[in-house]
Homo-oligomer: A and B are copies of this chain.
Amino acid sequence: MAKFLIVGGVAGGATTAARLRRMDESAEIIMFERGEHISYANCGLPYYVGDVITERENLLLQTPESFKKRLNVDVRIKNEVVRIDRENKLVEINDLINNTSYTETFDKLIVSPGAEPIKPPIPGIKDQAIFTVRNVHDTDKIKTYINENKPKKAVVVGAGFIGLEMAENLHHLGMMVTIIEMAEQVMTPLDYEMAAVVHQHLKVKNVEFYLNDGVSQFKRETDHLEIQLQSGRKVDADMVILSIGVKPETKLIKDAGIELAPNGGIKVNEYLQTSDPNIYALGDAMAFPHPITGKYTNAYLAGPANKQARILANNLVLGHKQTYKGAIATAIAKVFDLTIGSTGLAEKVLKKEGISYVSNIIHSGSHSGYYPGAMPTTIKITFDPKTGKLYGAQIIGYLGVDKRIDLIATVLQKGGTIYDLQEIEHAYAPPYSSAKDPVNQAGFTAGNIIEGLVNIIHWDELLQSHAASNFILDVRTPEEFELGQIEDAVNIELDEIRNHLDEIPRDKKIIIYCGVGLRGYFAARILMQKGFTDVCNLSGGYKTYEHATC
């Protein structure tokens, strides 16, 4: 009878335990959790704070009792595993209820200890009105604080997915919310011009934010905190959420002399086995080579943790048969009315990694424009300039963002190309899509770039280019042109262009733009075939340019 010990009782740990039991009814399975709860919905915590999820018990998918009853797993909450003795294959546990300590032997040890929120040593950071959000206990504290103190002004430090979810939920409770972010943008998985869409949305929602700025001190005043920023600015707050990132919980593993990856996560092989063959790791704490860069990365996502758990349990019972292939970091967040999805590598990461790439942005409708309710959707993809191999995608919109990021992720995960996007046979009826889905269109436009049918220029390249040697051609209608245009642009509407070729200089670089890129592409095709040699189309059109530069 095999004996499995599991450290951590949530996404990775509990799911491993569940599958282990289904695979092996007779194994001895003990799951240790230092906290009070197991199997809770971490991802639901912000919504519980915001009263969107109203029942606390809905967050607790399983209890130690239900886990025992259904899965016959020995669950020990408030039991912290504090030491691994590899030689004797045992662990030492602190029983936090009885303040005792004991040991348990194992055949195989599985660690899924997760990650902990980063709390830098900023003066004042220990103030009782400053919170992090990782587990049910954290949100209990936040809810109690809100109920007792009725805070009116909240500051969220760090504008990643969790920070923005918290901002939305505190705003939903009626607070005035201010976000402080060190980077030049919110949501690091996005490139700047995509994040710019989120910036605009936050403004519309009256959420204040300061970018390129960090906290230098939290100063306690009688009834509030004064937050001093590195820029010298001061912001008052009744409560603060710290969401500047997490770091993997690796102490236990490190102390046992088990190898860590260069990035600090727990290094595992394709069977999720650590450098000790009897010890396996998964979830947020675990690092695995990224499928594109090959560099060890932690996923910090519930989907991968759950899937790793099943692979791991299979391999523990059946032997090493199923390999884990790594996560491409497919993520999504609702930020007020927007949905923001991303997968794979953003442009800025590709740049940093020195991987040659092309990126392109399109704007489409969530479904056929003739059927009511279609909403704008912006898709940016990055891909190999020669083979078209997909590197990443970012999507922002209101409807159907989830389905499109999933589709692209599925292709990307298999090493697919932009040609695969072209061929996707999606389900089309007017309420759901168009005959050519935006994902197909992303593939078509990328194909046109690779095949030299069109050259593109990006908003930032245009900003940096020398006006004198360019002829900037706006092919929108005169009415659109009137409402706002790029400096020095000349307006010749697409439908008139064939009759006005002689008004376009042949000795300059022609930079064409339209509303979103489509008419510009059509115009570029005409000019290129009419002998203009240096023609390019503004990727994402005026819409992206405006977002990024305003």
Listed in ascending order, the chain A residues whose CB lies under 8 Å from chain B are: 11, 22-26, 41, 43-44, 47, 52-53, 58-59, 61, 66, 69-70, 72, 161, 165, 301-307, 310, 325, 327-328, 330-334, 339, 341, 343, 368-372, 400, 402-403, 405-407, 409-411, 413-414, 420, 422-433, 435-437, 440, 444, 453, 494-495, 498, 521-522, 525-526, 529-530
Contact = CB atoms under 8 A, between A and B. Distances in A.
Most buried by B among A72, A330, A370: A370
A495 B303 contact: no
A530 B25 contact: yes
A11 B43 CA distance: 43
A138 to B, nearest CB: 17
Contacts of A310: 422, 444
Count of identical protomers in the assembly: 2
25 contacts: A24-B529, A25-B529, A25-B530, A43-B429, A47-B430, A53-B370, A53-B372, A70-B495, A72-B498, A161-B429, A302-B435, A303-B425, A303-B435, A307-B422, A307-B440, A325-B423, A331-B428, A333-B429, A334-B431, A334-B432, A341-B427, A343-B427, A406-B424, A407-B410, A410-B424
Given A307-B423, A413-B423, A429 B25 contact: no
A370 B402 CA distance: 19
Given A24-B529, A303-B426, 13 more contacts: A44-B370, A44-B430, A53-B430, A58-B369, A69-B495, A303-B428, A306-B436, A307-B440, A327-B425, A331-B429, A333-B429, A402-B433, A406-B427
Given A370-B59, A371-B52, A435-B306, A406 B426 contact: yes
Contacts of A420: 414
Contacts of A66: 495
A201 B250 CA distance: 53
A71 to B, nearest CB: 8
Nearest to A66: B495
Nearest to A341: B427
A409 B427 contact: yes
B409 A410 contact: no
B304 A430 contact: no
A428 B522 contact: no
B70 A435 contact: no
A242 B26 CA distance: 61
Contact of A334 (B22, B41, B429): B429
Nearest to A431: B334
Contacts of A332: 427-429, 432
Contact of A430 (B43, B301, B432, B521): B43
Contacts of A301: 428
